[in-house]
Amino acid sequence: MSKNIGLFGLGVVGSGYYQITQKIQQFIPKKVVVKDPHKPRALQVAQLAYEADYILEDETIDLILELISDADEAHHIVSNALEKGINVISANKKLIAENLKELLELQQKHGSKLLYEASVAAGIPIIEVLETHYALEPISKISGILNGSSNFILTKIFEEGISYQEALTEAQKLGYVEANPYLDVSGSDAASKLSILSLHAFGAIIHPDNILKLGIEDISHEAVDLAKSHDAVIKLIATATVQEQAIHAFVLPTFLPKTHELAQVAYEYNGIEITSDYQGEQFYKGKGAGSYATGASVLSDVKKLALGKGYAYNKYLQAKNLHHETSSHIDIYLSSSNETIISKLGIQTREFIRNEEGIQLIGKVSLQSLLENQKAIENNAIFIANISQELAHLSIDRLGEKVLVQR
Ligand code: HSE
């Protein structure tokens, strides 16, 4: 059982963890390292320093909590500890997703364990569920809202009618947003989480850079109005499906009918649907961001290690040559004030409107084309959302304007 815990980071997650341990008087860190000596801190911590070696060079430390935002610095801390045979708990989805293979090898080679429940959907113990409850059962689909801040922003826009910027500022005040907000609103954070879930659900390692991701930054009022006129909402959905030996994985704003389970997941909450061979569809919901939700999730990992538990990576060890597939086509809605790169996307357009605000269209496009043009779509402030099957009838014609193409 770990007695001497070294904690890196007293930000949203670290301070949440620290405060909870003070309240329950268990698993209180022996030493804490933070980056910035000048930052004002509400928490009084006796054993505080600013150099990683304060913890890394202390041979009495037998568990490290890596709860910082810088993925490169986190990589140094985590790999250093695992190499020494010290167990680590991390909440850093970017670090974990980008280095899955290496982190698995380090654990195998040095007999150390790495747990990271708080890295995905904080309050939903989804990695534990995949590792144990679904250890032996094939999963064909995992889909959900994996980013609390963007869900908070979308909920505020839809339910309270406030602007994107106001909603983002509020989410930042509440401690939901990453140090770099781009990670949340661009879909990158959700892609890292989807990559981690794909390992535990399917045994597949997909680098998050290879996952198509489009964000919510450029959501237009036309898109919001269109959704409302169809009794729908827009949610940032991360999806991974397996067919035969092919995995399709992407993070996209998505039109969902209001009655859909995921449409009802509001504010900072996350929701995850799992479809598996024997249990069919199941749904999990919980807090996706926030200091106590993530801190408590770290605490649950501390307890798991104290009980001698770790990840078995069953699916990974049994996986048979799954490959990442991007050739399939999806239905999309697009709005943009400039048309420059749109012809490059190879969209099979079903409906198209041009007015003084720009263009809107509905059509079909390949995931590969979106992936290849991801940066250009982002740089040109083009908003693209997937249209769920339930809303296949979505039509911009209902906006009462002249539809130029209708096939
Ligand atoms: N910024 C993250 C989110 C925090 O909003 O989901 C939890 O990972």
The answer to whether residues 287 and 126 touch, using CB atoms and an 8 Å cutoff, is no
Q: Tell me the one-letter amino acid at 40.
A: P
Q: What is the pLDDT of residue 338?
A: 85
CA distances from 284 to 180, 287, 335, 345, 400 (A): 27, 10, 32, 35, 39
Quick: pLDDT tens for 249-271: 999 999 999 999 999 999 999 99
Three-state secondary-structure class, residue 364: strand
**What tens digit of pLDDT does each residue of 356-387 get?**
889 999 999 999 999 999 999 999 999 999 99
- The single residue of 93, 193, 235, 315 carrying the catalytic annotation is 193
Instruction: Write down the residue that tokens 């590792």 correspond to.
Output: 131
Report the alpha-carbon distance of residue 381 to residue 401 in Å, rounded. 23
CATH superfamily name and code, 126-289: Dihydrodipicolinate Reductase; domain 2 (3.30.360.10)
Q: Is 148 a pocket residue for ligand 1 (Cβ < 6 Å)? A: yes
* Any ligand 1 atom below 6 A from CB of 187: no
Q: Are 58 and 33 in contact (CB under 8 A)?
A: no
Pocket test for ligand 1, best of 147, 267, 292 (most atoms within 8 A of CB): 147
Distance 148 CA to ligand 1 centre (A): 5
Banded pLDDT at 37 (limits 50, 70, 90): confident
Angstrom distances, CA of residue 299 to CA of 5, 43, 273, 322 = 12, 18, 25, 33
Lowest average pLDDT, out of 59-73, 98-112, 144-158, 311-325, goes to 311-325
- Cα angle, residue 173 at apex, residues 170 and 177 outer, rounded to 5°: 85
Q: Which atom of ligand 1 is nearest to the CA of 91?
A: 8
Helix (H, G, I), strand (E, B) or coil at 148: helix
Question: Where, residue-wise, is CATH 3.30.70 in the chain?
Answer: 329-404
352/49 Cα distance (integer angstroms)? 59
Per-residue DSSP letter, 359: E
Query: What pLDDT, on a 0 to 100 scale, did the predictor assign at position 355?
Result: 86
* Residue 2: pLDDT band with limits 50, 70, 90: low
Q: Is 62 exposed, middle or buried (0-12, 13-18, 19+ CB in 10 A)?
A: middle
**Is 90 exceeded by the pLDDT of residue 46?**
no
Which pair of tokens denotes residue 405? 């193409």
| pLDDT value, residue 407 | 45
Question: What mean pLDDT do residues 112-134 have?
Answer: 98
Would you say residue 404 has pLDDT above 70?
Answer: no
pLDDT tens readout for residues 192-228: 999 999 999 999 999 999 999 999 999 999 999 999 9
For residue 149, the ligand 1 atom closest to its alpha carbon is 5
Closest by CA to 311, choosing from 123, 119, 113, is 113
Which pair of structure tokens corresponds to residue 190?
């959700």
The single-letter code of the amino acid at 100 is L
* Tokens found for residue 84: 């020494």
Ligand 1 geometric centre to CA of 160 (Å)? 21
Helix 291-306 to helix 12-24 angle, to the nearest 10 degrees?
Answer: 60
SS3 at position 68: coil
Does the Cβ of 192 fall within 6 Å of ligand 1?
no
Q: Closest ligand 1 atom to the C-alpha of 150?
A: 5
Q: Is the pLDDT of residue 400 over 70?
A: no
DSSP 8-state symbol, 118:
G
Phi, psi (rounded to 5 degrees) for 5: -100, 130
Task: State if residue 289 touches ligand 1 by the CB under 6 angstroms criterion.
Answer: yes
Digit-coded pLDDT (tens) for 332-350: 999 999 888 899 999 999 9
Q: HSE (CB half, 13 Å, CA atoms) of 137? A: 17
Residue 319 has pLDDT above 80, yes or no: no
Closest CA to 196 of 370, 357, 36, 313: 313
Structure confidence at residue 357 (pLDDT): 85
Fold of 5-115: Rossmann fold (3.40.50)
Say how far apart CA 97 and CA 383 lie, in whole Å: 26
* The pLDDT of residue 45 is above 70: yes
Pick the CATH number of 329-404 from 1.20.950, 3.40.50, 3.30.70, 2.40.50: 3.30.70
What are the start and end residues of each CATH 3.40.50.720 domain in the chain? 5-115
Q: Is 193 an active-site residue? A: yes
Distance, CA of 285 to CA of 59 (rounded, Å): 40
Band (pLDDT 50/70/90 cuts) for residue 3 is: confident
**What's the angle, vertex CA 128, arms to CA 127 and CA 130, rounded to 5?**
65
Read off the pLDDT of residues 50-104 as tens digits, 9 standing for 90 and up. 999 999 999 999 999 999 999 999 999 999 999 999 999 999 999 999 999 999 9
HSE toward the beta carbon, residue 221, CA cutoff 13 A: 4
Q: How far apart are CA 21 and CA 11, in angstroms?
A: 15
Beta strand 323-324 pairing with 232-243: unpaired
Backbone angles phi, psi at 271, to 5 degrees: -145, 140
Please list the residue range(s) of the chain that carry CATH number 3.30.360.10.
Answer: 126-289
- Alpha carbon of 208 to those of 101, 211, 213, 236: distances in Å? 13, 5, 9, 16
